[in-house]
Amino acid sequence: MTFDDLKAQIKAGAIDTVLTCIVDMQGRLMGKRFHAEAFLEMAEDETHCCNYLLATDLEMATPDGYASTSWEAGYGDYVMKPDLTTLRPVPWLDGTAMCLCDVLDHHTHKPVPFAPREVLKAQIEKANALGFDPIMATELEFFLFQGTHDEIAEGGFNLKPISRYNEDYHIFQTSKEEPVMRPIRNHLRAMDIPVEGSKGEAEVGQEELNIKYAGALLTADHHTIAKHGIKEIAHQAGFAASFLPKWHHNRVGSAAHVHQSLWTNGSNAFFDPDAPLGKSALMDHYMAGLLKYASDITVFLAPYINSYKRFAKGSFAPTQAVWSVDNRTAAFRLCGDGTKGVRVECRIPGADMNPYLAQAALLAAGLKGIAEKMPLSDPFKGDAYADDDVLHIPRSLRVAREELLGSAMLREAFGEETVTHYARAAEWEIEEFERVVTDYEIARGFEKA
pTM score, whole prediction: 0.96
Q: What is residue 73's predicted lDDT score, i.e. its pLDDT?
A: 76
Question: Cα separation of 278 and 272, whole Å?
Answer: 5
Question: Cα separation of 335 and 342, whole Å?
Answer: 6
Q: What is residue 288's predicted lDDT score, i.e. its pLDDT?
A: 97
Instruction: Give me the half-sphere count of Cα atoms (radius 13 Å) on the Cβ side of residue 384.
Output: 27
Question: Cα separation of 390 and 388, whole Å?
Answer: 6
Torsion over CA of 413, 417, 418 and 421, rounded to 10 degrees? Answer: 150
Domains and CATH numbers, the chain: 3-111 (3.10.20.70), 123-440 (3.30.590.10)
| Widest Cα–Cα separation across the chain | 70
Instruction: Give me the half-sphere count of Cα atoms (radius 13 Å) on the Cβ side of residue 309.
Output: 16
pLDDT in tens, 6-19: 999 999 999 999 99
Beta strand ranges found along 275-431 (DSSP E): 323-325, 332-335, 343-346
| Cα–Cα distances in angstroms (integers) from residue 410 to residues 80, 370, 422, in the given order | 27, 15, 11
pLDDT in tens, 308-336: 999 988 888 899 999 999 888 899 999 99
Q: What is residue 43's predicted lDDT score, i.e. its pLDDT?
A: 87
Average pLDDT per block of 10 residues along the chain, 449 residues long? 96 96 97 96 89 92 87 84 96 97 93 96 98 97 96 94 91 93 97 96 94 98 98 97 95 96 96 95 97 97 96 87 89 94 96 98 98 94 78 93 97 97 97 94 92
Q: What is residue 388's predicted lDDT score, i.e. its pLDDT?
A: 66
Q: What is residue 378's predicted lDDT score, i.e. its pLDDT?
A: 92
For 268-314, the DSSP string reads ETTB-TTSGGGB-HHHHHHHHHHHHTHHHHHHHHS-STGGGGS--TT
SS3 62: coil
